[in-house]
Structure 1
């Protein structure tokens, strides 16, 4: 998979075992500094549940081309462009299957921008003509999305400096993401820091200014986001702004939007104790409800890679746990809850 700027992007997919009915495709957008193979354990749970898990490494991440922590002159929009290209490629690769987009952290910001862009595009085309793609997109899922910036971090003078440096000294390094408190699993936190595939270097000024601009634009595009939506965030998340995901769920233009408040898992929802329960108990029922009219297709190999044939690195598989979570719902026009009652 190549970008519009000529960079090569590593992609990988996990497919249900031979004979397993395939329910849908999930196109996954990972977070800053990481790479798609970190999600091997979670992706395998989706595959066992009949979901094709389709992912790739953003430019400057993992096995993909590009400078770490930096973006080309195309800016942050390049991430959204690449996500749209991945979505269209997955749609061609698996014709007829319902498609969902899931974004974690920085990938959540990309997913929001992509969703708003595609919703406006869908309005501009004939319904029948748009059916090959737009008619197959059944929803978006956000995992601890980086859609707001902490005001304590984004102070006016710091924002000004980041923007100036982003223009005149785009490669100067400004800051990074602390890796010590990402998950409730200490092994995951330790492995993140030691894994050379992760980028723990401070990000470049151009990247920082691009993220700032993208987050500032979220309130302005929220009304354009009309797809079915499931947002998830832990109340103890110290990496992205607590409450940001819930606010977006309640302000976006979707009449079918729900938020699940998680407890005791921190930022890495798919690498925290209890991730399997989150997938099978919350995410899968939500997906199945929105594609129950689709015809299942026959499954393929248990896992396969697209692009270059090379072994992936395993993600971290954690023990199951039963944290107490809370559902918050955005009601439809009939005031019926989108998810079940709060617990």
Structure 2
């Protein structure tokens, strides 16, 4: 496994806990990961290990209100602040390796964050990888906001993967948020989706979109309009039949990892 180092830095609204993964070889590129709603960077050990073996130095942070970082749990007033906090992580990574290209990878809510990041800072990125991103149209957000009271029920862990062990580990993870959605956060997500829809496309920035065909949490038909808005002429998509929400934890994760690392190698070679 890749070696990891945990460290802290000040975010706009509180102290954030970050992690760096590295291998014995000199890296050829950097990968910055934006994790999803309610989870934390500790769930990305396997992802980081694959990326490090592919030549990366990997950086990730527990977003405000998530994992080991400070802040009210899963409470986000403005996702522009989360994007800015991620940029601070990116700057720390570049300070350590100023000569290396940076790949941004975002999953689910992290895909929303990464998409907005690419609109704000795309000129600094080598490429963008979006995994089941919450962009385009997220109908579940509107449904929840229309409720007088949001139900106090945890996420159905069986929606994450066809592998039951993934859901079991998720349900037992004390750093995962197992409470209800918070109205302020959902409203902020909806505003961020609208900002992305109004914002610029990515032009020549290489984009890989991966999504499970049977994702019940972020249905593919809602995401596609957002991808069509962002994508430029250097675009690849991989849709996995039967895949649920967490493709890196799916039963065909080996193929998903192979597709992501191949995309990264191809784009680095063409630079």
Fold match by TM threshold 0.5: yes
> Which residue is equivalent to 2:73?
68
1:283 Cα deviation after fit: 1.2
Give the distance between the partners of 2:203 and 2:67, measured in 1 at CA. Answer: 29
Taking a change above 3 Å as real, the CA distance of residues 274 and 23 of structure 1, as seen in their structure-2 partners, is farther
TM-score normalised to structure 1 length: 0.70
1:246 Cα deviation after fit: 3.6
Quick check: 1:15 aligned with 2:22?
yes
Counterparts of residues 234-245 of structure 1 (less than 5 Å)? 234-245=212-223
Taking a change above 3 Å as real, the CA distance of residues 227 and 188 of structure 1, as seen in their structure-2 partners, is same
Quick check: 1:285 aligned with 2:262?
yes
Give the distance between the partners of 1:151 and 1:245, measured in 2 at CA. Answer: 10
Quick check: 1:95 aligned with 2:83?
no
The answer for unaligned runs of 5 or more in structure 2 is 1-8
Quick check: 1:142 aligned with 2:130?
yes
1:242 Cα deviation after fit: 1.4
Q: Give the number of the structure whose residues are more often strand, by fraction.
A: 2
> Which residue is equivalent to 1:259?
237
1:63 Cα deviation after fit: 0.8
Taking a change above 3 Å as real, the CA distance of residues 243 and 21 of structure 1, as seen in their structure-2 partners, is farther
Q: Give the number of the structure whose residues are more often helix, by fraction.
A: 2
1:288 Cα deviation after fit: 1.2
Conservation of the 8 A alpha-carbon contact between 2:160 and 2:245: yes
How many pairs were matched up?
A: 263
The answer for unaligned runs of 5 or more in structure 1 is 123-133, 166-171, 295-343
Quick check: 1:45 aligned with 2:50?
yes
Quick check: 1:178 aligned with 2:156?
yes
Give the distance between the partners of 1:160 and 1:65, measured in 2 at CA. Answer: 29
Give the distance between the partners of 1:258 and 1:244, measured in 2 at CA. Answer: 18
Q: Which has the higher contact order (CA 8 A, sep 6+)?
A: 1
- Report the secondary structure of 1:41's partner residue: helix
Give the distance between the partners of 1:97 and 1:153, measured in 2 at CA. Answer: 38
> Which residue is equivalent to 2:4?
none
> Which residue is equivalent to 2:189?
211
- Report the secondary structure of 1:9's partner residue: strand
> Which residue is equivalent to 1:36?
41
1:145 Cα deviation after fit: 0.4
Conservation of the 8 A alpha-carbon contact between 1:173 and 1:205: no
For residues 158-179 of structure 1, give each alpha carbon's deviation from its aligned partner in whole angstroms, at most 9, with x where no partner exists. Answer: 64678xx9xxxxxx88776332
Larger radius of gyration: 1
Counterparts of residues 104-143 of structure 1 (less than 5 Å)? 104-119=107-122, 122=123, 134=124, 137-143=125-131
